[in-house]
Amino acid sequence: MTPRGAAMRNSRWAVVTVATIAVLVLGGCVAAPAGDGSSPSTAAADASLDADVRAQLEDALDEGFAASGMPGVTVGLWIPGEDEWVATRGVSDLASNEPMDRTNQSKIGSITKTLVGTVALQVIGDGEVGLKLDDTIDEWYPDFPLADEITVRMIMNMSSGIGSPGQAQIDRICADPYSTITPDEMIAIGAATPRADFAPGEGDNYSGFNTFLLGRILEKTTGTDLGTLIDEHLVGPLGMTRSRFAPDGVLAEPLNHGYSEFCPQLPQPTDTTDWANHESWAAGAMLSTIDDLHTWGVALGDGYGLTPELQAARIADRAPGAVAPGYEYGLAVLVHVDPDSGCLLDLSHSGAEPGYGAHVQYFEGSEAVLALIGNGDGGTGEEFAKVLRALLPVLPESVAATSNDACDE
């Protein structure tokens, strides 16, 4: 784990490895997205992925999976114009030794933030409820510290300075994995949590309390619950039939069991499959599959449902302070740009819940998507990053295709 990773956590699992993944991704110089609000592109595979590349990917997956210690992992790479590569290792259930399968549903943690952020940008873009990026949150939460200085933009790009839950959240979940804590109760905890040491908008501190606020603001302004908003704006239109916003944490068969080593008072590992997700809610309560993550990765990169201006803002309105060279948190997504040219390289997000890890990454130049789902946390919440660390260096050169069309001069 990078030193920066520790500071960016909601807890050891609920806000996972944004910084860790940042130092792994391939470089290159690529064009900015069109963001025309259309459906994501679905170019047909019309060429085979090179056999040597497949072999390198398989070998790298073997290496990364062995290093991770997770019970199982599923990974996918989709390059427009080439065959997909989807591979599994290990088991989805330690009791039955059922192998991992691409159809299995899992908890994907903080990738949820990208969906909530996209819904927010769509709502802002359609203008019907009058929500704006520069609205201050005192309109909805006047008693929240510095509410009259914190904007919607700041809670989306993690520059609000709101503190992170930390060990207190770990202790609550370990003590009561089936907690039904409400979003407003979580926001009250966030209000009482010490702030980061900077004024609103003048730094970055990754905290899920931001996305709790965003989710409740969406509910208050639209009059619609967050799960329905996600279904109506994204899951339904995109055909993500195996994805669900699930604060109850209930997975649908076929599924991956999750295995956590976070709670010392519980068996090591503990099967967390039926644990609730109320502690994560807008910050991490989505369920999905590897194929739905592919669909979402393309939609995220294309700016599905967004005006060109708001897709540009998603990338440009980044929190001050780099996660790593070239990496900054934009509007609910990690943005990777070339530090020298300013060229956009990729958009990504990782996530974890107790016993689960996930990652999705869209490469701007090639429109390729890399996705991962794992079912163990190893007590760190970052074990799946070992798989990515092995895979990323052997991705074909076409994934990091470059273009200078929209780079800063």
More confident residue, 13 or 146: 146
**Residue 254 burial by Cβ neighbours in a 10 Å radius (0-12, 13-18, 19+):** middle
What would the pLDDT profile of 257-276 be if each residue is shown by its tens digit?
999 999 999 999 999 999 99
DSSP for 263-287 reads -TTS-SSEE-TT---TTTGGGT-EE
Cβ 79 vs Cβ 48: under 8 Å = no
Alpha helices in 51-111 (DSSP H): 51-68
Cβ 76 vs Cβ 371: under 8 Å = yes
- Provide the pLDDT for residue 47: 62
Query: From CA 98, how far away is CA 116, in angstroms rounded?
Result: 33
What would the pLDDT profile of 56-88 be if each residue is shown by its tens digit?
999 999 999 999 999 999 999 999 998 899 999
More confident residue, 342 or 344: 344
What would the pLDDT profile of 373-407 be if each residue is shown by its tens digit?
999 999 999 999 999 999 999 999 889 765 555 46
Establish if 406 belongs to a structural domain: no
- Provide the pLDDT for residue 25: 37
Establish if 167 belongs to a structural domain: yes
Establish if 405 belongs to a structural domain: no
Number of domains forming the structure of the chain: 1
Establish if 408 belongs to a structural domain: no
What would the pLDDT profile of 187-205 be if each residue is shown by its tens digit?
999 999 999 999 999 999 9
In which domain, by residue range, is 227 found? 3-400
Please count the other Cβ atoms lying within 10 Å of the Cβ belonging to residue 350.
28
In our burial notation (b when 16+ CB lie closer than 10 A, e otherwise), range 310-347 reads bbbbbbebbbeebbbebbbbbbbbbbbbbeeeebbbbb
Whether residue 156 has pLDDT greater than 60? yes
Establish if 409 belongs to a structural domain: no
What would the pLDDT profile of 81-139 be if each residue is shown by its tens digit?
988 999 999 999 999 999 999 999 999 999 999 999 999 999 999 999 999 999 999 99
Q: What is the CATH number of the domain that holds 152?
A: 3.40.710.10
Average pLDDT over residues 277-284: 98
The strand pairing partners of 349, in sequence order, are: 360
Establish if 359 belongs to a structural domain: yes
Cβ 365 vs Cβ 28: under 8 Å = yes
Establish if 59 belongs to a structural domain: yes
Whether residue 149 has pLDDT greater than 90? yes
What tokens does 343 get?
């060229």
Flag whether the pTM goes above 0.85.
Answer: yes
Query: From CA 198, how far away is CA 7, in angstroms rounded?
Result: 14
